[in-house]
Structure 1
Amino acid sequence: MLQKFFIFCSGADSDILDTCSKGEQNKYAGIGATVFFTAVMAFIASGYALYTVFDNVYTAIFFGFIWGLLIFNLDRYIVSTIKKRDNKWSEIAQATPRIILALIIAIVISKPLELKIFQKEIDQVLLEEKNQMTLANKEQLALQYSPKIESLNQEIKSLKADIASKEAETNALYDTYISEAEGTAGTGLLGKGPVYKEKREKHDAYLAELKLLKENNGQKIAALEDQIATLNADYNTKVGDTQPVIDGFDGLMARINALDKLPWLPSFFIFLLFLAIETAPIIAKLLAPKGEYDYKTEEAESVVAVWVNQKVAQRKLLMSTDAEMNQGIYEDLKSEEELYNYKKKKAGEVLRLQADSFYKTQTKGL
């Protein structure tokens, strides 16, 4: 039962193969098994690849099964259409397009499995890329907010500098009138005289201005700090909104690009393995000598070809014979006087009817 299934997979004619030896049947069962297991590998590879795209097991299994059937049909067609010939170069020329197609199929099948085999290494590459993308994203977003925040900080520094400058001037006036009272500076007279009073009043005026300046600038600084806090909150919000996009950067194309950044030799050997599997049935048919099945198939095809050629020749002969017979019949009919008179009579009736119709048409027009 299993052998019959694999013979079906090989695309061989089971009726002809049943008349062949066991060795010939085993050969084509082996070719069919290779075709079948190649399709199974294609199903597994495409199912995994589609799972990375849709993230749904049932969808991946369904479309992976369709892809596996497609590969099975292509391989079966490729193997079944290669005919053994007496000329090896002719066989190679016949198999070349099929080998190219097998090469393409091997690439398509091997790539998803490479993604699965090197999944841990690919995840590491993707993690590094995601970290770089996160930093780059923060830097790009910061370019939108940094100039505004820097400008606000400069305003805050300016307001604080005004307060510090006023405070320094007030403190200097305080030292001046205290020194005047102590007699250590100014007039040099000990006590609170008119000069002391004047300097004290000036200090008190500056102190009042300093207090008012602190209140006004404090309100401005608080407002500017609120703006900075709002900008920082907006920045953090945008970073949070864009981070899921970066975290989701692990699709099929991203993984293929990450695989390309790994050493190429392991992937190349996996590709060679699948190329060998995919081309094995074709190579086997090319290398195998012309067997019993090939001779019987050639015989059956030649029988059909001869039969078709005979039918075509018979139809051509029938057509030429019929034409010659018709030619002779019509030649004989030329000398039949009765037929001539009958046809003459009918022709005259037709002419009279045409004349009557023409007359009626002209009369109506008048």
Structure 2
Amino acid sequence: MSMLQNFFWWCAGVHKETLSKFPEEHSKYVSIGATIFFTGLFASLAGGYALYFVFSGSPFAFLYASVFGIIWGLAIFNLDRYIVLSLDKSSALSKQLLQALPRILLAILIGIVISRPLELKIFDKEIKEHLRVEYLKQQQARIDTLNHTFEHKYQVEYGQLLRLKSQADSLESTIKTSRQQLNHEIFGTKTAETSGVLGYGPYAKRKEESLQKEEVFLDTLRNRIQQKESQLLVRKEKEGLFDQKILSNTSLDSAINIAGFADRNAALANLHKKPDGTEDSSTKYAVIFIALLFVFFECLPVFVKLMSAKDPYDMAIRSQRTIHQLESTSNVDIEKNALNQLIPQRTDIAIQRRMDKLSENYEKSKNRR
């Protein structure tokens, strides 16, 4: 327990010798240190999972995630430790908030960024089902677009095919009517188109010959339609339209498993929208509350330090800092005085050397004369 206490004290950035003088504050700083440690640990796990999600499918995904998670957790841990350590409880609350404001803003950003991959994991089943529906819609839309483009490209051939089919349908209807009239003529049924005489007479014979010609022409039209459709099918095959098929369950599962962050993120954003156009508010608020929970957890170390009252340890640290500042100022003043005394001495020595040099030069010039 002593080792664990010392470790959490180190996480809180306290001065161990000073804090040891105030036993009533030990538990408080153990709690602060534990909050900082677990925040860094949680940030490490969340950051590692986020990168693992990004590199999923790569053989080195776990290695990348581990390295990044450790670095990210240490960075957050160090930042929290520095902010908590630098908060001066002897100053006004507004100044403390100003000191903590950059960390709070960064915590909000980190909480939003880190919460997204974990939200994707929490709603994994719902996202997969949403992606299944979306991929089927996209595939069907892709097939419809390709077919529309193909029909527009070969609109002349399709126009001819439609005219042949229309002509064949019309002729088939005419043949049906002619066959009925022939039966009426043979059986002596009196109508506007039949003679009403029973038996196979000249009129029935002419009607049958006309009917046979129409059937031959209908067969010709059907052959032409079949040839035209065969030509279009060959062109579709050459242009790869038959390669586009509705995804099977196996293909859908494979596509969903390798779906990227953008698709999953879009699915999560649209998860609250139902197929009938209505919205599911519970899912929408659940995503928001999870993000707020991560934001609060990231801000927790700063909030703990801000909420804690000024204690004897804070006053002792404040006194020690004041003493160190005074000692540092005194040392600087002593060095300045020594330097000020040394500068005139050095100046006098330089002037004396210059005078001696000038006198020596004067004596040498005098001797030469």
TM-score for both structures, normalised by structure 2:
0.70
Corresponding residue of 2:32: 31
Equivalent of 1:255 in 254, 264, 268: 264
Structure (1 or 2) with the larger CA radius of gyration: 1
User: SS where residue 40 of structure 2 aligns?
Assistant: helix
Equivalent of 2:228 in 190, 203, 224: 224
Cα distance in structure 1, aligned partners of 2:214 and 2:122: 76
Q: Indicate whether 1:111 and 2:116 are aligned.
A: yes
Letter of the 1:227 counterpart = Q
Greater helix content? 1
User: SS where residue 87 of structure 2 aligns?
Assistant: coil
Residues 327/229 of structure 1: CA separation in 2 closer, same or farther (3 Å cut): closer
Cα distance in structure 2, aligned partners of 1:240 and 1:268: 35
Q: Indicate whether 1:340 and 2:358 are aligned.
A: yes
User: SS where residue 309 of structure 2 aligns?
Assistant: coil
Cα distance in structure 2, aligned partners of 1:214 and 1:122: 55
How many residues of Structure 1 are paired with residues of Structure 2 in the alignment? 334
Q: Which moved further from structure 2: 310-319 or 54-63? A: 54-63
Letter of the 1:230 counterpart = V
Letter of the 1:321 counterpart = Q
Residues 313/41 of structure 1: CA separation in 2 closer, same or farther (3 Å cut): same
Equivalent of 1:303 in 308, 315, 323: 323
Letter of the 1:237 counterpart = D
Gaps of 5+ in 1: 179-184, 186-195, 349-366
Over aligned residue pairs, what C-alpha RMSD do you find? Answer: 4.5
Q: Indicate whether 1:13 and 2:33 are aligned.
A: no
User: SS where residue 346 of structure 2 aligns?
Assistant: helix
Residues 326/53 of structure 1: CA separation in 2 closer, same or farther (3 Å cut): closer
Contact 1:9 1:76 in 2 (8 A): yes
Cα distance in structure 2, aligned partners of 1:314 and 1:102: 45
Residues 221/131 of structure 1: CA separation in 2 closer, same or farther (3 Å cut): closer
Corresponding residue of 1:364: none
Corresponding residue of 1:316: 336
Q: Matches of residues 68-79 of structure 1 in structure 2 within 5 Å? A: 68-79=73-84
Letter of the 2:88 counterpart = K
Contact 1:78 1:98 in 2 (8 A): yes
Corresponding residue of 1:151: 159
Q: Matches of residues 1-366 of structure 1 in structure 2 within 5 Å? A: 1-17=3-19, 19-56=20-57, 58=62, 59-147=64-152, 148=155, 150-151=158-159, 153-154=161-162, 156-157=164-165, 160=168, 220-231=224-235, 233=237, 234-239=240-245, 247=256, 250-261=259-270, 262=272, 263=282, 264-330=284-350, 339-344=357-362
User: SS where residue 83 of structure 1 aligns?
Assistant: coil
Cα distance in structure 2, aligned partners of 1:76 and 1:100: 16
Cα distance in structure 2, aligned partners of 1:146 and 1:32: 70
Cα distance in structure 2, aligned partners of 1:46 and 1:316: 52
Contact 1:134 1:246 in 2 (8 A): no
Contact 2:111 2:298 in 1 (8 A): yes
User: SS where residue 20 of structure 1 aligns?
Assistant: coil
Corresponding residue of 2:275: none
Structure 1 residue 237, shift from structure 2 partner: 0.7
TM-score for both structures, normalised by structure 1:
0.70
Cα distance in structure 1, aligned partners of 2:353 and 2:56: 85
* 1:299-351 CA distance string (max 9 Å, x none): 33233322322232223222221222233345555765xx4332346899xxx
